[in-house]
Amino acid sequence: MLRLLLPVAGLATVLRAANISQRTFGIDYGCNCFVKDGRPFRYISGSIHYSRIPRYYWKDRLLKMKMAGLDAIQTYVPWNYHEPQMGVYDFSGDRDLEYFLQLADETGLLVILRAGPYICAEWDMGGLPAWLLEKESIVLRSSDSDYLAAVEKWMSVLLPKMKPHLYQNGGPIIMVQVENEYGSYFACDYDYLRSLQKLFRQHLGDEVVLFTTDGASQLYLRCGALQGFYATVDFAPGGNVTAAFLAQRSSEPTGPLVNSEFYTGWLDHWGHRHSVVPAQTIAKTLNEILACGANVNLYMFIGGTNFAYWNGANMPYMPQPTSYDYDAPLSEAGDLTEKYFALREVIGMYNQLPEGLIPPTTSKFAYGKVHLQKVGTVVEFLDRLSPAGPVKSTFPLTFVQLKQYFGFVLYRTKLPKNCTEPTQLSSPLNGVHDRAYVSVDGVLQGILERDKSLMINITGKAGANMDILVENMGRVNYGRYNNDFKGLVSNLTLDQDILVEWEIYPLDIDGAVNHSIHGYPDRPKRSVGNPVSYETPTFYTGTLLIPGGIPDLPQDTYVNFPGWTKESPAEGASFPHVATLQRHKETARPGGFPATGDL
């Protein structure tokens, strides 16, 4: 069998190699257009981030994009998603970028790859790994030698994987973006861009089109564009398309017009309303862009979800929520919207829409209420959450110093004096990054929060345990505050005195939820004097049953938390509760923190 098959496989390789030689993609400055396989080519593309969609659904979402008439997709590669610890790489499961590229290719979509190293993307630290901050003084996105060394090492892993997927090598990738909106960053370091150019050329060769993306203004293009990279711009609907492309012309007097991020909606921030942009506004500007022969990428075509701890934040500190719905043409759940059909109609005026059925919206199932039982407080589970025990330090340490990059860390110290009257606990240098739940001997005192609440009053006896549970709500993804250290990044004071002698517990919440939080706490509930307060952060557990006898279950669902909040400290000191659901069958909709309520 094997011997018979081998020559056939060999023949296929020869034919494919012969066809590859006809595959070309480049820029024609004479016709102000791209040329693909020797013919003028214009793309209509849509953004989809594989890191924000479960692998299970990649194919469905790509097919819906194809059926909207798109030629291409655009995706970011988040460095920190693939190199979670220095030198530890992960390209498996939901991180299997090469499989994603293969699916796009099979669906008939070209790929515009935004390879970073920095991506912004409303993603934790703009895609840069937090471990870069182990050098405290590092200047990110510059010629800083430690930063560049880490970039070179990462790109020597990523880019060789990408090379076989380039269009001229038989794959779907037609262009590769370097950095992102670099002209909006303070450093304006051309040597950095030159180093990246050298690195990308070294790994990908001279043929591939390398490009940059910046805001549509000479102000941004000044530091974002570099000879050897094709300069493209990004701009929103509703503005003056001619003026925006004139800005691109200031850097590229000839060549194709490209809007690399044409916004179909907008991002959200915690505590703010969901952003909504009407479909008609987008359809009208899209038509104007396409009418002038320009190339466009719709950002986002599907936003998806910030799973786990991957959301970023803006300054003054405003984290993004779990949802990255973006009011995009395909909803966070991948559903077809009115906007999808409105934009498809515009695209259909310029591209032939593919024949066939648009995959239908996935069915959803209402599983009903899930009752949650209190299991125990974070403090009661401390031994299991922090098996190695506390790190002792005179002054507080940051997450990076503890080598814990995400989630929660508990800082404990003993009250140095009797605080019979309300006594000021403060963070004079605004160093609680980002939100701290403060309790004294298990009794809730209040919340400290970055940029919002720098001081609270506490009471308690000398020697009582003061616990400060600090939550990392996502690293700043944009601008000069990218070096975003987490935890207690400066000293706390009680009255005017600096608090010292800390016991710091790094918490492995995910591991504990996986394994052991379902049982009973290690510690007996506190008895005399200190009744357990469930006002402090607490684990709950509940069981979601997938009913039998109904075909096609499990199906997707939505989680609702009636009456649950994450209020800003000013609005009141109500605590979020960390809940766990034991799943008998995996539902098709993984969430950030699974929790209570109607399903």
Ligand X SMILES: *[C@@H]1O[C@H](CO)[C@@H](O)[C@H](O)[C@H]1NC(C)=O
Kindly list the catalytic residues. 181, 261
CA angle (380 as vertex; 376, 381 as ends), nearest 5: 85
156, 514, 565, 582: residue in contact with ligand X (rule CB under 6 A) = 514
Sequence-distant (6+) residues with CB within 8 A of 233 are 213, 214, 215, 216, 221, 244, 245, 247, 248, 258, 259, 260
Cα atoms in the 13 Å half-sphere on the side-chain side of 77: 28
Query: Encoding tokens for residue 155?
Result: 């790109």
Per CB under 6 A, 418 contacts ligand X: yes
- The 18-57 contact track toward ligand X, x by CB under 6 A, reads -x--------------------------------------
Beta carbon of residue 151, minimum distance to ligand X (angstroms, whole number): 27
Per CB under 6 A, 422 contacts ligand X: yes
Phi, psi of 385 (to 5 degrees): -75, -25
Per CB under 6 A, 491 contacts ligand X: yes
Per CB under 6 A, 560 contacts ligand X: no
Per CB under 6 A, 430 contacts ligand X: no
Per CB under 6 A, 417 contacts ligand X: yes
State which residue, 339 or 589, has the beta carbon closest to ligand X: 589
* Closest alpha carbon to 439 in 468, 463, 416, 481: 468
Give the 3-state secondary structure of 61-97: HHHHHHHCCCCEEEEECCHHHHCCECCECCCCHHHCH
* Closest alpha carbon to 341 in 266, 283, 277: 283
Sequence-distant (6+) residues with CB within 8 A of 7 are none
Query: Encoding tokens for residue 233?
Result: 């711009």
Beta carbon of residue 369, minimum distance to ligand X (angstroms, whole number): 26
Beta carbon of residue 510, minimum distance to ligand X (angstroms, whole number): 4
How far, in Å, CA of 2 to CA of 403, rounded? 50
State which residue, 216 or 559, has the beta carbon closest to ligand X: 216
Query: Encoding tokens for residue 505?
Result: 């517990």
State which residue, 22 or 363, has the beta carbon closest to ligand X: 22
4, 5, 8, 15: residue in contact with ligand X (rule CB under 6 A) = 15
Residue type, 578: V
Beta carbon of residue 517, minimum distance to ligand X (angstroms, whole number): 12
- The 451-480 contact track toward ligand X, x by CB under 6 A, reads ----xxx----x------------------
Q: DSSP class of residue 535?
A: T
Per CB under 6 A, 184 contacts ligand X: no
Q: Which region, judged by CB under 6 A, interacts with ligand X, from 8-16, 134-142, 206-214, 525-533?
A: 8-16
State which residue, 258 or 488, has the beta carbon closest to ligand X: 488
Radius of gyration in angstroms for the set of CA atoms belonging to the chain, rounded to a whole number: 26
Per CB under 6 A, 396 contacts ligand X: yes
Question: Could you give the C-alpha distances from 461 to 15, 16, 468, in angstroms and in order?
Answer: 81, 78, 16
Beta carbon of residue 241, minimum distance to ligand X (angstroms, whole number): 8
349, 498, 550, 570: residue in contact with ligand X (rule CB under 6 A) = 498
State which residue, 208 or 464, has the beta carbon closest to ligand X: 464
Cα atoms in the 13 Å half-sphere on the side-chain side of 486: 29
Question: Could you give the C-alpha distances from 563 to 11, 127, 577, in angstroms and in order?
Answer: 65, 34, 12
3-state secondary structure of 421: strand
State which residue, 23 or 269, has the beta carbon closest to ligand X: 23
State which residue, 396 or 521, has the beta carbon closest to ligand X: 396
Phi, psi of 296 (to 5 degrees): -145, 145
Beta carbon of residue 400, minimum distance to ligand X (angstroms, whole number): 12
Q: Which region, judged by CB under 6 A, interacts with ligand X, from 385-393, 506-514, 538-546, 588-596?
A: 506-514
Per CB under 6 A, 511 contacts ligand X: yes
Per CB under 6 A, 543 contacts ligand X: no
Beta carbon of residue 244, minimum distance to ligand X (angstroms, whole number): 8
Beta carbon of residue 582, minimum distance to ligand X (angstroms, whole number): 13
Residue 567 has a CB neighbour count (10 Å cut-off) of 13
* Closest alpha carbon to 262 in 237, 290, 287, 288: 237
Per CB under 6 A, 164 contacts ligand X: no
Per CB under 6 A, 402 contacts ligand X: no
Per CB under 6 A, 582 contacts ligand X: no
Beta carbon of residue 73, minimum distance to ligand X (angstroms, whole number): 22
Per CB under 6 A, 291 contacts ligand X: no
Per CB under 6 A, 510 contacts ligand X: yes
State which residue, 360 or 511, has the beta carbon closest to ligand X: 511
Alpha helices (H) along 358-451: 382-385, 399-402
Q: 48-79: string of b/e by CB count within 10 Å (b at 16+)? A: bbbbbbbeebbeebbbbbbbbbbbbbbbbbbb
How far, in Å, CA of 479 to CA of 489, rounded? 19
- The 240-269 contact track toward ligand X, x by CB under 6 A, reads x-xx--x-----------------------
Per CB under 6 A, 85 contacts ligand X: no
Sign of the C-alpha dihedral computed for residues 43, 49, 50 and 54 taken in this order: negative
Beta carbon of residue 11, minimum distance to ligand X (angstroms, whole number): 9
Beta carbon of residue 489, minimum distance to ligand X (angstroms, whole number): 6
State which residue, 87 or 422, has the beta carbon closest to ligand X: 422
Give the 3-state secondary structure of 172-205: CEEEEECCCCHHHCCCCCHHHHHHHHHHHHHHHC
Q: Which region, judged by CB under 6 A, interacts with ligand X, from 39-47, 119-127, 509-517, 570-578?
A: 509-517
Q: Which region, judged by CB under 6 A, interacts with ligand X, from 96-104, 224-232, 403-411, 417-425?
A: 417-425
Sign of the C-alpha dihedral computed for residues 179, 183, 189 and 195 taken in this order: positive
Per CB under 6 A, 16 contacts ligand X: yes
Per CB under 6 A, 490 contacts ligand X: yes
- The 200-239 contact track toward ligand X, x by CB under 6 A, reads ----------------------------------------
Residues lying near ligand X in the complex (CB under 6 A):
12, 15-16, 19, 240, 242-243, 246, 395-396, 417-418, 421-422, 455-457, 462, 490-491, 498, 510-511, 514
